[in-house]
Structure 1
Amino acid sequence: MGAHLVDSVLYGHLWTTPEMHRLLDDEGRIQAWLNILAALAEAQADVGLVPADAARAIRKHADAELLDLAEVAEQTRATGHSTLGLIRCLQNILPEEAREWVYYGATVQDVSDTWTALVMRQVADILERDLAHAEAAALALAKRHRDTEMCGRTHGQPGLPITFGFKAAVWAAELRRHRVRLAEGRGRREVVQLGGALGTMEFWGDRALPLLGEFARRLELGTPDIPWITARDGIAEFVGLLAMVTGTLAKIGQEVYELQRPEIGEVREPFTPGQVGSITMPHKRNPELSEHLVTLARIVRADAAVAVEGMVHEHERDGRAWKAEWVVLPEACLLTGAALAFACRLLDGLEVDTDRMRENLGARGGYVLSEPVMRALADRIGKHSAHTVVYEATLAGMNRGVDLRTALLADHRIAEHLSPDEIARCLDVQAALGVAPAFVDRVVAACNKGLGR
């Protein structure tokens, strides 16, 4: 079993996806670093800093399969340097005439930070795809249950009636906003790092700025206005966005977790035959997907806090801040990838018990409709007075164990202002939904537009 759960043969499926793991494991990282070194050499050849033959040789040999990763690791430990082990092993397989041109004038952050920009771009592509999937699944629930009445709850207690479509539309709209945020931030984050020792590019003389442009072009990344060696806001923003994304998924998971409780029983996670909830209580059907979404989000939020700490950087380079990103950025990406995969499964297969929703609504004895009564009475005696009267009538009714209609008719202060027919109209669930169905329609229309909205 791996030391980190993402590498565990037994439990890795809970903490990452194969796609995300391949991107961020040692092989994926080293291959990406080699690609960056090759692109740097080619860009330097483009501006006349490196012989073209040397650049071609570096590109040809920039293949992780040609290297002994154990030797790279040994050289890294022996030198105490983040990239020198890789450079030495690459030099060993290069033709002699190309060896001196590897990593020409660059520093470790030129490679590692450019890798970070590439990772953020690739992860953003995955997130966009999976967020779109989750949004579409939530939107399908919203449309299907546009008019499905259920009990709305505030502070965990029954409030007014809503529709399940309204609840799902809130999820879909929030997921859409994350897609917008993801797109809006790409230009800030997806930029190369190339500054040399302190970011001034002094090593490359008057070829510095042309080199910066060629390097960015070859990697299909943006060109920063100034190197960002000490400016870690882009990474903090990205990990913060991952925390927000997983926060939304955790909110959805927590809703399902609560609504699946047998006492409520309004929704259920998809169930796979053979899935076991408890080894001691065979009857249990646990909300495994939902609760794991909450777990993953907690860790990503902690990672985001560390990423923000990295913004506090000293002078022109500070390994204390920068190297912490090597832990939290990959971890946050891995966990977010897993969270989105689980959320898509949850939303795709969510079972909605509409009958139970109606039963739970009816079981409240009409008391969830106290606000429409107060609203009607407010036109006769004023809002605050109406609140006091209805408040006292509902308390009295609940203490007597009668339904709201009986409680209202028994209160002379209400009966003298509202007729039985008027009270009956106030207790119409459909009328009490307000514009909840219309809001579903608005979200559906907005989500059917482009992300520029």
Structure 2
Amino acid sequence: MVTRLTDSPVYAHLWSTPELEEVFGETARWQAWLDVLVALARVQARHGLVPPEAAEQIAASARTEHLDMDRVAAGTRVTSHSTLGLIRELQRVLPESAREHVYVGATVQDVSDTWFGLVMRDVGDLVRRDVRALEATVLGLAEAHRDTPMAGRTHGQPGAPITFGFKAASWADELRRHLDRLDEGRPRWAVGQLAGAVGALAFHDTDVDPLDLRRDFCTELGLGDPGASWLTSRDRVAEFGQVLALVGGTLARIGGEIYELARPEIGELAEPTTATAVGSITMPHKRNPEVSEHLDTLARLARAAAGVLLEGTVVSHERDGRGWKAEWVALPEICLLTGTALGLARTLLDGLEVHADAMVANLDRFGDRLTSERVLAGLSGRLGKHAAQDLLQGVLASGEGVVDALVTRGVASADEVRGWMTRDAGTTAARMVDDVVSRARGREPGP
């Protein structure tokens, strides 16, 4: 029975993706935990701790299709232990000679934290793929609209001219920093855990070097060795969550821009749509920016989950389930939310409608007022910045024409004022577009 709206077959597409469901679905999660147990047995066999034939029997049997998952669930409830139901069910399907060699010297947290390492590696790679694809799309927008003029806005109000390429380049530059974060963080996150009861690997400190065993265990799973047990050192998980939250924040910022600029009275951007899409069931004329809006929703939830992961860094001694168990909920949640947002953002930006004519019309509508920064710069050279500010603000507040007002006050000629107004403010913005594009594509920026 589905009890959460986000898990409903009707609405699940708004909160997850089929690709991520393959990572976090019930069967996939159990199989990942079984794979960790298989890797442990194989490495222990190579180190002479369990018989090689037992390790292979464990590998052959540790498949979810061989297990009765209802028995696993019942055993988990009866024992009040997170993995004992799974262990006993696996033992049940194994030959008797292999049963005592399952899960030797490991703990619940060894299994679940190693799964976290696999998740952060694999989800991180998926996130990187989608961020890179988004960056490529946005770089294309930046290049195509390098010189497309539009109103730059501050505090929601028209400010001074920019280009749409400049706006898109700021999106691309932010996405590039997320790629850097993902690349830099991957070696920290993609590690395993084999710590034992309090992190000292005492169970394995017999006839083998426990650190060699742990290193081989991590290698078997394609993970890095952590260097030290991290049972209550949860910064890896928290950092990964913060990076995903930052990615979600960027997508929400982009969505928010599109949401605002798609308003009919502005009309500079529009989401892609289809003939079957319904904007409003009561107002058929509407074309709602549903995707842009949902990016904000997903980002809010992702930040909340990231906060839970950050809370988990404050825990006690050598094991503390309070923060660690909360991660079981929050880490999958933020991965699903971020992956969904990335998929939606790719669709949104791949089909984004850019209405350059509306951008120019909006600039024209506000006329000379949007050149005030350039006129202020011209006047500042002869009056001083603050005196020029006071003068120009008074002129604009009076409703006088800027050229005539400044000529009348004897502070500039008409040609000087018009020259200040017509100076191309987009030149520097366009150079920054070139710089962003060049750096993203591995070239040195031009002069």
TM-score (norm 2): 0.97
Once the two structures are superposed, the pairs formed by residues 133-144 of structure 1 within 5 Å of their partners are 133-144=133-144
One-letter amino acid of the counterpart of residue 294, structure 1: D
For residue 76 of structure 1, give the secondary structure of its aligned residue in structure 2: helix
* Residue number in structure 1 paired with 2:441: 448
Is 373-382 or 258-267 further displaced after alignment?
373-382
Contact map agreement 2:407 2:413 (CA 8 A) in 1: no
Question: C-alpha displacement at 1:324, in angstroms?
Answer: 0.3
Instruction: Verify: 1:306 aligned to 2:308, yes or no.
Output: yes
Report what 2:299 is aligned to: 297
AA in 1 matched with 2:335: C
1:17 correspondence with 2:10: no
Q: CA deviation at 1:413?
A: 5.9
**Cα deviation, residue 434, structure 1:** 4.5
Q: Secondary structure at the match of 2:425?
A: helix
Distance 2:82 2:245 in 1: 28
Alignment partners' CA distance in 2, 1:92 and 1:168: 59
Percent identity over paired residues: 55
Q: Does 1:425 align with 2:419?
A: yes
Please say if 1:188 is aligned against 2:182: no
Residue pair 2:407, 2:414 contacting (<8 A) in 1 also: no
Bigger drift between 240-249 and 72-81 goes to 72-81
Matches within 5 A, 1:373-452: 373-397=375-399, 406-412=401-407, 414=409, 416-428=410-422, 431-449=424-442
- Is the CA contact 2:406–2:412 (under 8 Å) kept in the aligned structure 1? no
Q: What secondary structure sits across from 2:82 in the alignment?
A: coil
Offset at residue 5 of structure 1 (A): 3.5
Distance 2:211 2:429 in 1: 56
The partner residue of 1:354 within 331, 337, 356 is 356
In the alignment, the residues of structure 1 paired with residue 201 and residue 62 of structure 2 have an alpha-carbon distance, to the nearest angstrom, of 24
Aligned to 1:43: 43
Distance 2:288 2:89 in 1: 50
The secondary structure found in structure 2 opposite 1:35 is helix
Q: How does 1:42-191 map to 2 (within 5 A)?
A: 42-191=42-191
Q: What CA distance in whole angstroms lies between the structure 2 residues aligned with 1:169 and 1:307? A: 31
Between the aligned partners of 1:244 and 1:136, the Cα distance in structure 2 is: 19
User: Secondary structure of 2:366's partner?
Assistant: coil
Please point out which of 320, 327, 334 is paired with 1:325. Answer: 327
Indicate conservation of the 8 Å contact 1:393/1:408, yes or no: no
- How far apart are 1:365 and its partner, in Å? 2.1
Q: Which runs of 5+ in 1 are unaligned?
A: 401-405
Is residue 279–residue 288 contact of structure 2 (8 Å, CA) maintained in 1?
yes
* Distance (Å, rounded) in 2 between the aligned partners of 1:271 and 1:441: 31
3-state SS of 1:160 partner: strand
**C-alpha separation in 2, matches of 1:332 and 1:296:** 9
Q: Is this contact kept in 2: 1:33–1:115, CA < 8 A?
A: yes
- Residues 339-367 of structure 1 show CA distances to partners (whole Å, capped at 9, x for unaligned) of 00001011101000000000001100210
Contact kept in structure 2, 1:266 and 1:357, CA below 8 Å: yes
Q: Distance in 1 between matches of 2:231 and 2:66?
A: 31
Aligned equivalents of 1:355 and 1:297: distance in 2? 32
> Which shows bigger deviation, 307-316 or 348-357?
307-316
The separation in 2 between residues aligned to 1:70 and 1:137, in whole angstroms, is: 46
Q: Find the counterpart in structure 2 of residue 281 from structure 1.
A: 283
User: Contact 2:403–2:418 (CA<8 Å) still a contact in 1?
Assistant: no
Report the secondary structure of 2:205's partner residue: helix
| Equivalent residue in structure 2 for 1:363, among 356, 362, 365 | 365
Q: Is the 8 A contact 1:394 1:408 kept in 2?
A: no
Shift of 1:412: 4.6
What's the CA shift string for 1:419-450, capped at 9, x where partnerless? 2122111221x612240000000000011029
CA contact (8 A) 2:161 2:370 kept: yes
Aligned with 1:313: secondary structure? coil
- How far off is 1:371 after superposition? 1.2
Instruction: Look up the match of 1:403.
Output: none
SS at match of 2:150: strand
Q: Tell whether the 8 Å contact from 1:37 to 1:111 is kept in structure 2 after alignment.
A: yes
Distance in 2, matches of 1:87 and 1:449, equals: 50
**Secondary structure in structure 2 of the residue aligned to 1:435:** helix
Choose from 316, 322, 346 the match for 1:344.
346
After superposing on structure 2, the runs of 4+ consecutive aligned residues of structure 1 that deviate more than 6 Å are none
Residue type of the alignment partner of 1:285: R
**Distance (Å, rounded) in 2 between the aligned partners of 1:214 and 1:413:** 83
Q: Return closer, same or farther for 1:446/1:5 CA change in 2, 3 Å cut-off.
A: farther
Partner secondary structure for residue 151 of structure 1: strand
In the superposition, the TM-score normalised over structure 1's length comes to 0.95
C-alpha displacement at 1:7, in angstroms?
2.2
Contact 2:268–2:359 (CA under 8 A) maintained in structure 1:
yes
Q: Tell me how far apart the structure 1 counterparts of residues 264 and 240 of structure 2 sit (CA, whole Å).
A: 38
Question: Cα distance, 1:69 vs. partner?
Answer: 1.6
Q: Find 2:259's aligned residue among 257, 260, 263.
A: 257
For 1:364-389, what per-residue CA distance to the aligned partner results, in whole angstroms no more than 9, with x for missing partners?
A: 02101011111111122222111111
Contact in 2 for aligned 1:31/1:63 (Cα 8 Å):
yes
Could you tell me which amino acid in structure 2 is paired with residue 424 of structure 1?
R
Specify the code of the residue in structure 1 equivalent to 2:405: A
**What is the Cα deviation at residue 42 of structure 1?**
0.4
